[in-house]
Amino acid sequence: MQCAAGYEGNLCGLCRQGFGTVKPFVCKKCLPKSATIALYALAAVVMLVAVRVLSALALSDSGQDTGAAKPVDILKPLVLYAQWLMVVCQSMSNVPLPPSLAMPLQAVTWFWSSTSASSLGLDCVLPRQARIPVPSQRVMFAILTPIGILCVLLCVEVLLSLRCRSTRRLSCMPRAATGHRIRMHDRFVSLFVCMAFMFLPTWAHAAFSFFACIPLDEEAFFPYAAEAVGLYWTQDLSTQCYAAGSYHKPWALGVGLPLLLLLCFVWPLGLLVFLVISCRHGKLSQAAFRQQYGFLYRSWRQGVYWYEAVVVVQTNILVLVGTFGYALGPYYHLLVILAALGLIGVLLLYVRPHKCAEAGHVLMHSVGVLCLTTFSALTFLPYRNITPPSGYSMAMGVVVLVAHVAFVLCTLWRLLRLIEWSLVMRLFRCCWRKVACGSKAASGPGDSAVPVVGTTPTPWCVRSSFLLLKGCCTCQQPKMASTVRSADACNHGVETKPGV
């Protein structure tokens, strides 16, 4: 069988030298090695910043429960939307998408490329002559990269803490919304919880991919001969699954099986048991406990505080369908994805788990947009000899793209409404004025950041900006009042301010 340029092997499912896997069974000519490494490094930095911001918001918002809508309550459904969109994009790898939709979705996959070996063609930079086969290297890359990101974040936290202690400035330690200093232990726990939430789909896909096998040839009788009878690994169609002497079996049983048990059983069940026991001991209302684990339950209503375990199961099911659905063909694969998204939406409508209705609306709208994307992908598939017109595909792609952009913009608008911008502008004005007049107000052998108050009144910009700038220029998170929505106001659209 003659394969197209860049393909080889069984069913032309392998990439030739100089080509890399960008989607399942899709090869693309390699970029220069330096460009590929730079893109992966940039994506890793973006992901590192995203995890750090999510952790900082969780720490600042979980110290107390005022029943108000917080930024993390809106940001969490947005992250779930991005995770589930990645699963849908991987399921559409064999769908002829129009350019109006294919390029934006490729940009979305770049966001997760630091933990996905198939987004930018990691095969182009992996050593092909190494002892570990390239498909196994791809899967291990997806497993180990999030752990590397966590290690970098932990090192940053340690260095910032050591810097504050070496200068003996306890005021530069991060503070929560309640005003007390956040301990290093609390920051470590928050980073681990947020990282687990962010990278669950990545690890689940890596675990499931060890067992994703598809049949190629059926047994044939003389005078015909079948060359590839049995199940073959989707990561490497030249390798038969669980065959004697194949490298797939030890990798699947040695790495894939423990990871699969951890993600599908230990993780959700352990999370459920942990939250139930903590609730029975009255820990969910304790400030110290909320500081560490509030990200797991503060978004959910009191009666369904354990709903985070349900979200873990939902994500695992979506990844499971997206990974094993290739054997069904693109049409039935997308149908099963659409059914799974529909069940998630029905469960959200029935249970209404969110404490704040606004956060529930964000997650429900995201499920609707993903259902529209999956349904539109079904219409792009040819049926027998009928191919969708290019004009229809282009127009439908624009409609789906507009729906995604509108959802993201509306969600960002909800986030921006939780911020009182007058205080933010005041902070920036203080920073700017400190640059202009701070050097004139500070003198003496002591700390140059402390103003010397003499007979001349110290400028207001110097007095007020020192505390603010310590959070701006070092590692403190300045206390800032923010326009929030109370639990009742969230349902009635009334804005309230703390202390009013």
Give the mean model confidence (pLDDT) for residues 125-130.
Answer: 78
Residue 392 has pLDDT above 80, yes or no: yes
Q: What is the pLDDT of residues 157-216, one digit of tens each?
A: 888 777 767 665 544 555 555 455 667 777 888 889 988 999 999 899 989 999 988 887
With a cut of 80, say whether residue 40 has pLDDT above it: yes
Question: What pLDDT is recorded for position 443?
Answer: 39
pLDDT reported for residue 469? 39
In percent, the amount of the chain with pLDDT more than 90 equals: 24
Res 376: pLDDT: 92
**Which range among 22-36, 112-126, 193-207 shows the weakest confidence by mean pLDDT?**
112-126
Mean pLDDT along residues 40-54: 85
Predicted confidence at residue 364, as pLDDT, reads 94
Q: How far apart, in whole angstroms, are the C-alpha atoms of residue 269 and residue 274?
A: 8
* pLDDT higher than 90, residue 18: no
Confidence band of 474 (pLDDT split at 50, 70, 90): very low
pLDDT for res 160:
77
Q: Amino acid identity, residue 473?
A: C
Whether pLDDT at 46 is above 50: yes
Q: What is the token pair recorded at 59?
A: 């720490």
pTM of the model: 0.79
CB 266 within 8 A of CB 272: no
Max avg pLDDT among 160-169, 317-326, 475-484: 317-326
User: Can you tell me the mean pLDDT for 242-261?
Assistant: 89
- pLDDT band (50, 70, 90) for residue 481: very low
- Which of the pair, 478 or 249, is modelled with greater confidence? 249
CA dihedral angle for residue 406, residue 409, residue 415, residue 418, rounded to 10 degrees: -90
The structure tokens listed for 244 are 């004697």
Mean pLDDT of all residues in the chain? 77
Confidence (pLDDT) at 369:
95
CB 172, CB 85: distance < 8 Å: no
Q: Give the rounded percent of residues in the chain with a pLDDT score beyond 70.
A: 73
Q: Give the span between the Cα atoms of 378 and 341, in whole angstroms.
A: 15
Q: Reply yes or no on whether the pLDDT at 460 is more than 50.
A: no
pLDDT attached to residue 130: 74
* Close Cβ partners of 439 (under 8 Å, ≥ 6 residues apart): none
In the predicted model, what is the mean pLDDT of residues 437-463? Answer: 41
Q: Which residue has the higher pLDDT, 1 or 184?
A: 184
Confidence of residue 440 (pLDDT cuts 50, 70, 90): very low
Better-scored residue on pLDDT, 483 or 305: 305
Specify the pLDDT at position 49.
87
According to the model, what pLDDT value does residue 424 have? 61
CB 149 within 8 A of CB 114: yes
